[in-house]
């Protein structure tokens, strides 16, 4: 489950009449889309009617060119991240069998870290995942001070006018998880630097800008390609996928029974042996960690380290 499918899923679940109470349905379908934490939110759609060179159409074209320029600059900085030495042991062939672990973290703890140390809940989640990979690589004896784990982070680029449309509008950005850094505060700072750069340079929004500059028939192919970037990059460039889905903060019901927990599962593709999905539900962050069975016998080390990563930051907050 990637972040965009996850956002669609939370709406799709509540759209089933026997799954949610009327109050739940009203809460989920009213108001603006929940913005992806720490990442660019979609801009409102605008009319495509022709206009004069100084009219609204010209302003829209100028804005699109400006956003494309910002995206190109950000893409250059993002490309530079691929030059850092990465944890090669997380890449390789994957078999048909899987390991799956889950962890839970109180959402209030992540929010407390965010309020005290800055950043977003998404930054805190990425810092927790970084702590887990640090423990894993250290236990394997392959951790060095300059090692990173390069993660693809799928993000939603659905526009506000797209509410209720059951399709997936996604892009992918890349974050170097600084596993070689000993100080957890410095790890969080480096993650924030990268995610802030994504927001400033509109790297995720760039996919939407490119779509607007092309024929509408090409848009689905572009968005599909963005969603499958980890599959395309098979040569050790990306080691993992990390998704963080903002779920409902109110209870869902199935046939009158309350849904108590919501554990996500993310599939493995493209030589990536481990991936993490996180979803919030009723005040809890649920981590679902999928790994190749043969390649990741030590997955529990990572899972426990990721959960402990939030507590580590909370103690310093």
Tens digits of per-residue pLDDT, 160-199?
555 545 445 566 788 999 999 999 999 999 999 998 887 7
CATH 3.40.50.300 assigned to 3-39+60-316: no
Q: Over pLDDT 70: what percentage of the chain?
A: 57
Tens digits of per-residue pLDDT, 75-91?
455 555 555 667 888 99
Name the residue among 71, 275, 33, 277 with its Cα closest to residue 171: 71
Percentage helix, strand, coil for the chain under 3-state DSSP, each rounded to 5: 45, 20, 35
Tens digits of per-residue pLDDT, 2-56?
444 555 555 555 554 444 455 555 554 554 444 444 444 444 434 343 444 555 5
Question: What is the model's pTM?
Answer: 0.71
Name the residue among 171, 136, 129 with its Cα closest to residue 151: 129
pLDDT at 125 over 70: yes
pLDDT score of 217: 34
* Burial (CB count <10 Å: 0-12, 13-18, 19+), residue 31: exposed
- Measured distance CA(140)–CA(136) in Å, rounded: 6
Q: Over pLDDT 90: what percentage of the chain?
A: 44
Tens digits of per-residue pLDDT, 245-287?
888 899 999 888 999 999 999 889 888 999 999 999 999 999 9
For residues 2 and 129, which has the higher predicted lDDT (pLDDT)?
129
pLDDT score of 160: 53
Averaged pLDDT for residues 288-310: 96
């Amino acid at each position: 489950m990637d972040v965009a499918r996850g956002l669609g899923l939370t709406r799709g679940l509540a759209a089933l009449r026997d799954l949610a109470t009327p109050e739940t349905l009203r809460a989920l379908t009213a108001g603006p889309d929940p913005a992806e934490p720490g990442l660019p939110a979609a801009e409102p759609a605008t009319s495509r009617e022709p206009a004069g060179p100084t009219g609204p159409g010209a302003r829209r074209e100028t804005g699109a060119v400006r956003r494309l320029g910002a995206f190109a600059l950000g893409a250059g900085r993002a490309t530079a991240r691929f030059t850092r030495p990465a944890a090669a042991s997380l890449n390789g062939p994957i078999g048909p069998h899987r390991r799956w672990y889950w962890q839970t973290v109180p959402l209030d703890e992540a929010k407390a870290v965010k309020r005290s140390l800055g950043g977003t809940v998404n930054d805190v989640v990425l810092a927790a995942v970084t702590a887990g990979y640090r423990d894993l690589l250290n236990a394997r004896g392959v951790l060095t001070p300059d090692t990173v784990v390069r993660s693809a982070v799928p993000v939603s680029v659905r526009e506000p006018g797209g509410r209720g449309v059951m399709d997936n509008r996604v892009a992918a950005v890349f974050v170097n998880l600084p596993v070689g850094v000993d100080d957890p505060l410095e790890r969080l700072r480096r993650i924030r630097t990268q995610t802030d750069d994504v927001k400033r340079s509109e790297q995720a929004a760039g996919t939407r800008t490119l779509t607007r500059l092309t024929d509408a028939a090409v848009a689905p192919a572009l968005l599909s390609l963005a969603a499958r970037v980890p599959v395309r990059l098979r040569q050790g460039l990306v080691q993992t996928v990390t998704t963080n889905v903002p779920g409902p903060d109110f209870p869902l019901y199935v046939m009158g029974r309350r849904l108590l927990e919501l554990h996500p599962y993310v599939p493995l593709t493209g030589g990536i042996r481990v991936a993490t999905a996180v979803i919030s539900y009723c005040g809890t962050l649920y981590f679902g960690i999928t790994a190749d069975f043969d390649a990741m016998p030590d997955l529990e080390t990572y899972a426990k380290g990721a959960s402990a990563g939030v507590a580590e930051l909370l103690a310093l907050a």
